[in-house]
With several copies, the nearest count.
Chain A
Amino acid sequence: MKNSAPLALDLAGIKMNSPLVAASGCYGYGFEYGTWVDLREWGAIALQGTTLHPREGNRPPRLAETPSGMLNAVGLQNPGIKHFLQEVRPRLGELGCPVIANIAGESVAEYRELAAILDGVDEVSAVEINISCPNVRLGGISFGRDPVAVGELVSAVRGTYRGPLIVKLSMEASDLVAVGRAAESAGADALSLINTLKGMVIDIAARRPFLGNLTGGLSGPAIRPVAVRAVWEMAVAVRIPLIGMGGIASAEDALQFILAGASAVAVGTANFIDPHIAREINSGLRRFLEQEGLDHYSELIGAARDCPESR
C-alpha cells in the first residue's frame, strides 16, 4: 500500500494520490465541482449512483437539515447506464483522477448486468455496489440486511466484473460485521462504510413528514461517532481494506477513521459546506504526518487498536 508520496496508496488496485474519496451521490459526476475546484486533490471520485434504467428520483422536498446533519431522499435520480456510457463516459478522462462507478439494482440480475457493462469500461477504475440505499423501495427485497443475500449478490457481481469491487454496506444490516464478512468471502476487494442512517423529520405545521419520500438518509457530522465505531468493529473482522465515511469534515475527522482501521476515507456532505475540503484535508493530513514524524499515513491505519484496553 505504501508509496513514496506520504498520502499515496494502491487501494485494492486503484492507484490513488490521496486516501480521500469523494463520496457517491455527493459529487455528481465530478464535473459539477470540477468547474470550480481542482479535482486532483481527490484520490478517487465515486460517481453518483447509476441504475440500469433511468430513474426520475423522489418527489421534492428531498432535503431537510437536522442538527449537525441532513436528510436526503434523492431516490437515485439518474439517467441510466446507457446515457452514462454515451454521455458521461467520454468525459471522465477530464476529471484527472480515478473514478469509481457506484451502482444500484432492483435485482441480482440487474446488478450483474450493470457490472458486466462496466467491466469493459476503462475510464472506470472500480465498481462500488450500493446495497444500502435507504431511499428506494426495491420491490421489497432489501439486499443490505442479510449476510446470505449480500454474499449471493457479491458473488454474482464478482462473476461479471474483473476490476476492483467495493461493497458499500448499510447500517440497516441485521449484523453489520456478518454482512461485511459475507461480502469479503464472496470476493469483495474493499468495503465502504457507512451509508446514511434512515431518518425522518416531521413538519409540525403541516402535520406530515417533511420529505416527499417521508423518510431520508441522515449524513453529516451527526453520524460520525456511529461511523467511526462501525469502522472500528469491521476492521478486526475482515482483511480487505475499508473506506470509512460519515461526517468527515476535517483532517482530524479523517484521522479518527484511519486510526480506527480505515485505509481510505470518503467525504460527502462536507463538500456542500466547503467545496475545497479535499485540499484542506490533504494538507491537514500532511501537517499531521510531519508533526508526528511519520513518512506515510498508512502507519496510522488501525493504530488506535494498539491501546491496552482494545486487545
Chain B
Amino acid sequence: MEQTGELAHRCLLLENRELAEGWHLFELQAEGLVHADPGQFVQLRIGSATDPLLRRPLSIHYADAQRGRLRLLFQIAGSGTALAAQFRAGEELDLLGPFGRGFPHLDEKAPAIFVGGGIGMAPLFFAAAVRRGAGLPFKFLLGGRADAQLPPDEYFRSHGIEAQIVTDDGSRGDRGSVTLLLERSLENLSPPYRIHACGPMAMLSRVVELARPAGAAVHLSLESRMACGIGACLGCVHPFYRGEQIEYRRVCLEGPVFDGEEVVFEK
C-alpha cells in the first residue's frame, strides 16, 4: 500500500480475548489501517505515562476491510505486553502505522508455504487469509510448545486455513519442530513455490537451509528492538549480505520481511 494518509490512529478495542495461554487477540475498529498488507506492522502505545516509554511493534494479524476491523495477536513477552494484555474492550488504543514492507508475491499462482514458529504465525495468518480469499494455493505449517499454547484448530478453520501443527511435547499434532513439517512438505512438492516464515531466528535459519537445495524463494519476517518504526533512528538494524559485503538494514523500513538468502544469521 501507498504510505499516504494518516499515521496516527485511535482505535476502539472491541474485544480482548485470550486465544491461547498468554496469547491475546485484539479486535479493533480501525478503518484507517485495514488496507495494510500482510507482513506490515503497527506500533502500539502502552499507557499514557512515560514508563513504558517506547511503543511496541505488532504485526497486523488480520484485517477485515469491509467491516473496518483489524486484529492484533500477541504473546506476553515482558512488561509492555503484560500491560497491553490488561486493556479492556471499550478502551481506545493508540496505534501508528501501517509500517514496513510486507510479504511479496502473495498474488502469485505458485503455491505458498507459510512456516510459523509460535507467535510468529501472527502475520502469516493474514497472508494465508489473503491467498485463501483469492483462491490461491498455500500450506500453513505451525509449530508450538504445547496444545494449550497455540490457538484452537477452530480458529484456523473458521478462516478457511487448514493448519498443520506440531508441538514440542506432541500434545497437538506430531511431536517435533515445524521445520520437520517443512521438510516433509517439500518432499511432496515440486518448484516453483514460495516460502514465507516468521519465528525464532534458529528456526528461520533452518528454513533457509531447507529451501536452498530446492531453489525456493524464502521470505522471512524479522524482529528487532524498535524506537521510531519509521526509519529515522537507525536503531533496529540487522546485518544482511550484499554480495560479498555485509551491511546493516533497518528492519522497520527495508523490512520487516526480507529475502531469506540475504539475512545474516550467525551472531
Cross-chain contact A269 with B53 (CB below 8 angstroms): yes
B7 within 8 A of A: yes
Find chain A residues with CB under 8 A from B53 CB: 65-70, 220-221, 269, 273
Q: Assuming the A-B contacts A64-B225, A65-B52, are A72 and B230 also in contact, with contact meaning beta carbons closer than 8 angstroms in the complex?
A: no
CB A87 to nearest CB in B, in angstroms, measures 15
Complex CA–CA separation, A26 to B226 (angstroms): 12
Within 8 A of B (CB), among A271-295: 271-276
Return the contact of B45 from the options A67, A74, A269, A273 (Cβ within 8 A).
A273
Find chain A residues with CB under 8 A from B232 CB: 26-28, 32-33, 48, 271
Which of B25-33, B64-72, B166-174, B235-243 forms part of the interface with chain A?
A: B235-243
In chain B, what residue has the closest Cβ to A64? B225
Find chain B residues with CB under 8 A from A35 CB: 3, 230
Cross-chain contact A63 with B7 (CB below 8 angstroms): no
Within 8 A of B (CB), among A55-93: 56-57, 59-70, 72, 74, 77
Complex CA–CA separation, A36 to B253 (angstroms): 13
Find chain B residues with CB under 8 A from A72 CB: 227, 233, 235
Q: Mark B229-257, 1 if CB is under 8 A from A, else 0.
A: 11111111111000000011000010000
In chain A, what residue has the closest Cβ to B229? A272
Complex CA–CA separation, A127 to B228 (angstroms): 25
Within 8 A of A (CB), among B211-230: 224-230
Complex CA–CA separation, A61 to B222 (angstroms): 13
Within 8 A of B (CB), among A205-239: 220-222
Complex CA–CA separation, A61 to B224 (angstroms): 8
Query: How many A-B contacts at CB < 8 Å in the complex?
Result: 105
Cross-chain contact A272 with B7 (CB below 8 angstroms): no
Range, interface on chain A: 35 or more
B54 within 8 A of A: yes
Return the contact of A28 from the options B96, B231, B247 (Cβ within 8 A).
B231
Cross-chain contact B55 with A77 (CB below 8 angstroms): no
A25 within 8 A of B: yes
In chain A, what residue has the closest Cβ to B56? A65
Q: Is the interface of A mostly helix, strand, loop or mixed?
A: loop
Q: Mark A6-44, 1 if CB is under 8 A from B, else 0.
A: 000000000000000000011110001101110000000
Find chain B residues with CB under 8 A from A25 CB: 233-234
Q: Assuming the A-B contacts A33-B230, A275-B96, are A57 and B237 also in contact, with contact meaning beta carbons closer than 8 angstroms in the complex?
A: yes
CB A284 to nearest CB in B, in angstroms, measures 15
Cross-chain contact B227 with A63 (CB below 8 angstroms): yes
Find chain A residues with CB under 8 A from B52 CB: 65
A191 within 8 A of B: no
Complex CA–CA separation, A80 to B248 (angstroms): 15
Cross-chain contact A77 with B248 (CB below 8 angstroms): yes
CB A179 to nearest CB in B, in angstroms, measures 27
Q: List 23 A-B contacts (CB under 8 A).
A: A26-B232, A26-B233, A32-B230, A32-B253, A37-B7, A56-B247, A60-B248, A63-B226, A63-B233, A64-B225, A65-B53, A67-B49, A68-B50, A70-B227, A77-B234, A221-B51, A269-B53, A271-B228, A272-B227, A273-B55, A274-B8, A275-B7, A275-B96
Residues in A lying within 8 Å of B, measured CB to CB: 25-28, 32-33, 35-37, 48, 56-57, 59-70, 72, 74, 77, 220-222, 249, 269, 271-276
Residues in B lying within 8 Å of A, measured CB to CB: 3, 7-8, 45, 49-55, 96, 224-239, 247-248, 253
Top 7 A-B residue pairs of the complex, sorted by shortest distance between their CB atoms: A28-B232, A63-B235, A68-B50, A32-B232, A36-B7, A32-B231, A63-B225
- A-B contact sample (14 more), CB < 8 A, given A60-B248, A61-B224, A67-B50: A26-B233, A57-B234, A57-B237, A57-B248, A60-B238, A67-B49, A70-B54, A220-B50, A220-B53, A269-B53, A272-B233, A273-B53, A273-B54, A273-B55
